[in-house]
């Protein structure tokens, strides 16, 4: 069973509560976090960005 | 022929030993002294703590690896350093106490030409009454602690299944704790596990931390470009906690842990209590208690070590306010200012000050994360010092030091937010430099080209990949030299 990467059981924040002013991801953003084709691409991109930073640190 | 003794076999000590062995011929001795028989890839203890991995998945026996690599392994703990030898011999030495079953308690002198202090931290549970596995809370700092935490978590989940609503508190304890990233990972992994069991509605989860804001991580947080804006990790972290329904309590110093109750003070000076059914609270770190003595036997510990037990190196330890902190305060050679053949790396070196801005409550309680210096920075320090020592052995004592300041190196961190090949997520973050440089990078302190954060399954795969890659490297398997620190 694939579990969504978000807590759909959490109650939405009450109006004017501190949490209600915090940006939360849209359903599309949440879905993309575990959407395999997109995440394969992000896997490559993140690795490349990390390698770039590591190369910078080893100057 | 030379002899280098390395105290400790964590990430920095193990890296120093293996890199030194790589560069030196067999006529030069490389000796590792560590009280542990097994090496532990600590970042994966988080997964042991939720039952997704076992102790065997994150540890391995050191003896056969060191035998294969040609490194002498002594299972013992260093107790004292004698940089001038004693009245009868001028040769520097360390005194160690054996911890193996066969030689338990035996004391031995090990002479050295070069010494690397990579002893890591003492897990100072004693700093908070009732804290830790011997008290009333749990830890994931070691593989065995994490195994115990996983067992307690299973019991908590069983109570939820039986209809009992449970309160879980996860975070830091003492106001000066470090490793907030580990607490971040554990709270999200626990939340993920409970959600996967369909019991999320039965759990109230709190993140309790000494951070001034969410997303500080002891490094003053990080700014990154998101959707055309430069935003701080505070927004990013608050979003994630809100999305997962995790409550947060910040600017907190835990004063005492009692059975099912944690007492804490907040930065405003108020005192609070929070009831819990499950609590994992990280301890503060201290030095391991190494002593040093001069030739006559006089105690020189206050000279070589800071009051917190960490070793002084080439940092600027002048006390100054936050506004006057500078990248140049941070060490780059990790060499003792008193003895040029002694180095301290990883957690063992004394940082000049925090990275996050320090705060104190009206009661005088310091509530500020200590600077993290684990993982990638530790590995780079270990390799840098190994190169310095190897150059001196091979090219003469005038060889210049290699440099690796945290003010000019970046760090990559992949923080798990839930395990699972298709359902897991992690937050991948990089920052450059680790020490904010507000003169070079006004407003953010960091180069935004090398600083970013992203949450997703892809980052979880990277976390898994790093687990296997670094265990491969630590075991000295084929091609280990090619894996960067």
Looking at residue A55, its pLDDT comes to 85
Taking the C-alpha atoms of residue B174 and residue B459, their distance in angstroms, rounded to an integer, is 30
Judging contacts by C-beta atoms under 8 Å, the chain A residues touching residue B380 are 57-58
- CB atoms closer than 10 angstroms to residue B363: 12
| pLDDT tens-digit readout, B56-89 | 999 999 999 999 999 999 999 999 999 999 999 8
Place of tokens 């960005």: A49
Instruction: Tell me which chain A residues have a C-beta less than 8 angstroms from the C-beta of B376.
Output: 54, 57
Cα separation of B12 and B3, whole Å?
Answer: 18
pLDDT over 90, % of chain B: 95
pLDDT at B484 > cutoff 80: yes
Please say if the pLDDT value at position B436 is more than 70.
Answer: yes
B52 near B185, Cβ under 8 Å? no
Task: Give residue for tokens 């060191």.
Answer: B66
Q: What is the DSSP letter of B366?
A: B
* Separation between Cα atoms, residue B96 and residue B252, nearest integer Å: 38
Residue of chain B whose Cα is closest to the Cα of A10: B245
Average pLDDT over residues B207-236: 95
Residue B189: HSE in the Cβ half-sphere, 13 Å Cα cutoff: 31
Tell me the C-alpha distance between B411 and B461, whole Å: 18
- Alpha helix ranges (H) inside B252-402: 301-304, 376-395
Residues of A with Cβ-Cβ distance to B457 under 8 angstroms? 5, 33-34, 36, 39
State pTM to two decimals: 0.94
| pLDDT higher than 90, residue A10 | no
B112 pLDDT tier (thresholds 50, 70, 90): very high
Partner-chain contact A10 B452, CB within 8 Å: no
- Judge whether residue B135 has pLDDT over 60: yes
pLDDT digits (tens, 9 = 90+) for B23-57: 999 999 999 999 999 999 999 999 999 999 999 99
pLDDT tens readout for residues B452-465 = 999 999 999 999 99
Give burial (CB, 10 Å; 0-12/13-18/19+) of B471.
Answer: middle
The H or E element containing residue B239 is helix B233-244
Number of neighbouring beta carbons within 10 Å of residue B163? 7
A14: contact with B, CB 8 A cutoff: no
**Is it the case that residue B209 has pLDDT exceeding 70?**
yes
- The C-alpha atoms of residue B448 and residue B425 are separated, in whole angstroms, by 23
For the segment A13-38, the average pLDDT, to the nearest whole number, is: 91
Give B221's pLDDT tier (boundaries 50, 70, 90).
very high
Mean of the pLDDT values across residues B256-266?
Answer: 98
Mean pLDDT, residues B220-248 taken together: 94
What pLDDT was estimated at residue A4? 42
pLDDT at A8 > cutoff 80: no
User: What is the number of other CB atoms lying within 10 angstroms of the CB of residue B304?
Assistant: 22
- Residue B445 has a CB neighbour count (10 Å cut-off) of 22
**Residue B143, pLDDT above cutoff 90:** yes
* Mean pLDDT within B393-397: 94
Q: Which of B191, B245, B432 sits opposite A53 (nearest CB)?
A: B432
Q: Which of residues 29-58 of A touch B (CB under 8 A)?
A: 30, 32-34, 36, 39-43, 45-47, 49-50, 52-54, 56-58
For residue B120, give the nearest of B253, B16, B4 by alpha carbon: B16
Residue B400 has pLDDT above 60, yes or no: yes
As a dihedral over the C-alpha atoms of residue B231, residue B235, residue B239, residue B240, rounded to 10 degrees, the angle is: 90
pLDDT given at position A6:
47
Q: How far is B290 from chain A (nearest CA, A)?
A: 31
Task: Please state, rounded to an integer, the average pLDDT across all residues of chain B.
Answer: 96
Which range, of A8-12, B143-147, B267-271, averages the lowest pLDDT? A8-12
Specify the pairing of strand B3-7 against strand B29-34.
Answer: parallel
Model confidence at B169: pLDDT above 50: yes
For the cut 90, the answer to whether the pLDDT of residue B354 exceeds it is: yes
Return the exposure string of B66-82: e unless at least 16 CB atoms fall within 10 Å of the residue's CB, then b.
beebebebbbbbbebbb
Q: How far is A18 from chain B (nearest CA, A)?
A: 10
- Surface-to-core class of residue B229, CB atoms within 10 Å of its CB (0-12 exposed, 13-18 middle, 19+ buried): exposed
- Look up residue B50 and give its two tokens: 């939720």
Nearest CA in chain A to B462: A43
Residue A43's closest chain B neighbor by CA?
A: B458
Tokens of B341: 């053949």
Q: What is the pLDDT of residue A59?
A: 58
Q: By the CB < 8 Å criterion, does A6 face chain B?
A: yes
- Look at residue B222 and give its three-state secondary structure: coil
């Amino acid at each position: 069973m694939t579990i969504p990467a978000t807590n759909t059981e959490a109650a939405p924040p009450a109006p004017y509560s501190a949490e209600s002013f915090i940006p939360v991801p849209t359903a599309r953003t949440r879905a993309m976090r575990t959407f395999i084709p997109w995440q394969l691409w992000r896997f490559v991109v993140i690795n490349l960005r990390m390698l770039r930073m590591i190369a910078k640190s080893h100057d | 022929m030379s002899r280098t003794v390395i105290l400790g076999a964590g990430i920095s000590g193990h890296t120093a030993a293996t890199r030194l062995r790589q560069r030196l011929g067999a006529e030069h001795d490389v000796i590792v002294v560590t009280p542990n028989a097994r090496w532990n890839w600590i970042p994966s203890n988080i997964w042991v703590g939720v039952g997704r991995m076992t102790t065997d998945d994150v540890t391995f026996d050191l003896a056969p690896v060191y035998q294969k690599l040609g490194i002498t392994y002594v299972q013992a703990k260093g107790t004292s350093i004698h940089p001038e030898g004693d009245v009868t011999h001028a040769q520097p030495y360390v005194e160690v106490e054996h911890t193996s079953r066969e030689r338990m308690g035996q004391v031995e002198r090990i002479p050295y030409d070069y010494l690397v202090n990579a002893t890591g931290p003492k897990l100072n549970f004693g700093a908070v009454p009732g804290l830790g596995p011997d008290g009333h809370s749990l830890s994931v700092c070691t593989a065995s602690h994490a195994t115990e935490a996983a067992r307690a978590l299973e019991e908590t989940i069983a109570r939820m299944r039986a209809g009992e609503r449970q309160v879980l508190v996860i975070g830091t304890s003492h106001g000066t704790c470090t490793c907030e990233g580990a607490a971040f990972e554990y709270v999200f992994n626990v939340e993920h596990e409970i959600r996967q069991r369909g019991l999320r509605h039965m759990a109230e989860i709190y993140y309790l931390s000494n951070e001034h804001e969410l997303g500080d991580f002891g490094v003053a947080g990080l700014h990154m470009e998101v959707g055309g804006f430069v935003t701080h990790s505070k927004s990013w972290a608050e979003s994630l906690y809100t999305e997962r329904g995790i409550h947060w309590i910040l600017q907190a110093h835990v004063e005492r842990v009692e059975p099912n109750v944690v007492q804490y003070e907040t930065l405003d000076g108020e005192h609070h209590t929070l009831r819990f059914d499950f609590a994992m609270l990280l301890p503060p770190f201290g030095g391991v208690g190494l002593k040093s003595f001069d030739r006559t036997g006089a105690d020189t510990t206050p000279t070589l070590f800071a009051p917190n037990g960490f070793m002084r190196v080439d940092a600027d330890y002048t006390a100054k306010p936050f506004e006057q902190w500078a990248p140049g305060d941070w060490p780059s050679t990790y060499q003792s200012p008193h003895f040029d053949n002694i180095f301290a790396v990883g957690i063992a070196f004394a940082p000049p000050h925090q990275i996050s801005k320090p705060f104190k409550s009206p009661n005088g309680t310091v509530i500020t994360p200590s600077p993290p210096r684990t993982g990638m920075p530790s590995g780079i320090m270990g390799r840098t010092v190994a190169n310095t020592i190897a150059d001196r052995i091979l090219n003469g004592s005038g060889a210049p030091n290699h440099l690796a300041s945290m003010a000019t190196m970046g760090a990559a961190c992949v923080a798990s937010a839930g395990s699972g090949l298709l359902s897991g997520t992690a937050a991948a973050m990089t920052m450059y430099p680790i020490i904010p440089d507000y003169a070079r990078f006004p407003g953010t302190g960091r180069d935004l080209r090398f600083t970013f954060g992203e949450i997703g399954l892809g980052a979880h795969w990277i976390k898994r990949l790093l687990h296997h890659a670094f265990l491969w490297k630590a075991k000295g398997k084929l091609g280990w030299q090619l894996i960067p620190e």
